[in-house]
Amino acid sequence: MSSTANIIIAPDSFKGTATANQAAEYLAAGVREILPDATITLAPMADGGEGTSAVFGGQLITLPTTNAAGRLTEASYTFDPSSNTAYIDVAAASGLPAVAGLEIATTADTYGTGVLIADAVTRGATRITLGLGGSATTDAGAGILVALGAVPRNKQGYALNKGGADLINLDYIDTAELNIPAAAVEWILLTDVTSPATGPQGAAAVFGPQKGATEKEIELLDAALQHTCEVLDIDSNYPGMGAAGGIAIGISWLSTLMHGSAAHVHILPGAPVIARAIGVEELLTEADLIISGEGRLDSQSFSGKVVGTLHTLATAANVPLVVAAGQVAADIPAGINAVELEKSTDVAAQLRAAGRTIAQNFLARS
């Protein structure tokens, strides 16, 4: 069996060092050195965070937009004309790395992501799939609304300042210049967390610190999100409502405005949706081994993330799973097979070496 093994390689991205596609290719190269006759299927994964858009097929669209600080940048998304679906990572335009070190926790906004959405609609998109991970924002999707022509205003009728903090003064949203086709699309919101919008487990409290928010700013942002939910009649406790700084709040309101309910907004855990979309379950029926990978393997990897999703599917299919990781924490569940990457700055060499090790171990067991 070993020389003609059927192997699936389905890693997540290694943030900042390798995309999921690159990681899959590097791991496969290492495996082939040991098992040259193996049938290897590359199935790069994502969980709603960075790299989600690239998992799906279609045209790569790149255009000027703004980052979370309002500065000019370029961002890309994937458009599939066969299904009229745009796959957009919030991190592409509104991500944290591009604004790291800037003190913008209360003013960072998602306007740049809204520009990508509006562009996709001009190309014929009727469904927008947003990967919600990795945002620098806590603005309840207000920036997206502004880009689509819906302007949040205070009691005096003035447009709110950009970002999440001024949402504490939200009185209503002006839709006089609303982009109707964009507002009416079907929304698939892929999350890598199940956080509510507000409270101790909410967007500001849990993710505010990594976005540079102080304790006082976290309190202000949490209160602003709660106020926004009350004004827009959104359930702040709904699982996933807090992902990407509460983007689902604004989108749920917008879609409800257009359709009378939020039935056209689907907040879903990213990794299972992506695994289903690329056919991992079907591939597992013929597989002898599945290999995944991520930067750090710990207990959180098994809470809706790529590795946890694949572990569930592989266990059900009785297929062994091995994970290549930059770091392997001590708190991972018992029975998880993991290979820690060698210390190096060459990620390609690290992953090829991990692929070789995994293949050698598989050969020995076979």
**Residues 265 and 288 placed together within one structural domain of the fold:** no
Question: Of the candidates 218, 242, 271, which is a domain's last residue?
Answer: 271
| Residues 153 and 294 both lie in one domain | no
What's the whole-number mean pLDDT along residues 292-313? 91
Q: Are residues 156 and 56 in the same domain?
A: yes
Burial of 156 (0-12, 13-18, 19+ CB in 10 A): exposed
For residue 314, with 0-12 CB atoms within 10 Å meaning exposed, 13-18 middle and 19 or more buried, which class applies? buried
Q: What are phi and psi of 209, to 5 degrees?
A: -60, -40
- Whether residues 13 and 136 share a domain: the answer is no
DSSP secondary structure of 121-158: HHTT--EEEEE-TTB---STTHHHHHHTT-EEE-TTSP
* Domain housing 94: 52-271
Are 144 and 247 contacting, i.e. CB atoms less than 8 angstroms apart?
yes
Which helix (DSSP H) or strand (DSSP E) does residue 225 occupy? helix 215-232
Instruction: Provide the number of structural domains found in the chain.
Output: 2
Alpha-carbon distance of 366 to 364, in angstroms, equals 5
Residue 1 has pLDDT above 50, yes or no: no
% the chain with pLDDT above 90: 89
- pLDDT tens, residue by residue, 12-35: 999 878 999 999 999 999 999 999
Q: CB atoms < 10 A from the CB of 260, how many?
A: 9
The two tokens of residue 246 are 């509460």
- Specify the pLDDT at position 3: 53
Same domain, residue pair 264 and 295: no
2 pLDDT exceeds 60?
A: no
Write out pLDDT tens, residues 68-109.
999 999 999 999 999 999 999 999 999 999 999 999 999 999
- 129 and 27 co-located in one domain: no
CA dihedral sign, ordered 160, 166, 172, 178: positive
Beta carbons of 53 and 87 less than 8 angstroms apart: yes
Rg of the Cα atoms in the chain: 21
Q: Which two tokens stand for residue 322?
A: 């091995």
Neighbours of 116 (CB within 10 A): 29
Average pLDDT over residues 331-337: 84
Within this chain, do residues 297 and 333 fall inside the same structural domain, yes or no? yes
Residues 155 and 255 in one domain: yes
Closest CA to 125 of 76, 183, 185: 185
- pTM greater than the 0.75 cutoff: yes
Q: Are residues 213 and 315 in the same domain?
A: no
Which of 306, 282, 304, 280 lies closest to 293, judged by CA? 306
For residues 11 and 75, membership in a common domain is answered with no
Q: Are 185 and 126 in contact, with CB atoms under 8 Å apart?
A: yes
- 18 and 90 belong to one structural domain: no
Q: Locate the DSSP E strands across the chain.
A: 6-9, 39-42, 59-66, 72-80, 85-89, 127-131, 151-153, 172-174, 186-191, 265-269, 289-297, 321-328, 337-340
The pLDDT, as a whole number, for residue 208 is 97
Say how many C-beta atoms besides its own lie within 10 A of residue 124's C-beta.
12
Quick check: 203 and 242 in contact, CB under 8 A?
Answer: yes
What value does the mean pLDDT take over residues 39-66?
94
Torsion angles phi and psi, residue 191, rounded to 5: -110, 150
Residue (of 224, 221, 197) closest to 209 by Cα position: 221
| Token pair of 151 as six digits | 């302007």
- Same-domain check for residues 158 and 133: yes
In total, the chain counts a number of residues equal to 366
The pair of three-digit structure tokens given for residue 211, joined into one six-digit string: 């976005």
The pLDDT tens digits of the residues spanning 321-333 come to 999 999 999 888 8
Single out the residue in 247, 271, 295 at which a domain terminates: 271
State which amino acid sits at residue 239.
Answer: P
Residue 250, pLDDT score: 98
CATH code, domain carrying 13: 3.40.50.10350
Q: Compute the mean pLDDT over every residue in the chain, rounded to the nearest whole number.
A: 95
Residue 49 pLDDT: 85
CATH number (domain holding residue 264): 3.90.1510.10
Of the three residues 238, 271, 304, the one that is the final residue of a domain is 271
Both structure tokens of 297: 């393997």
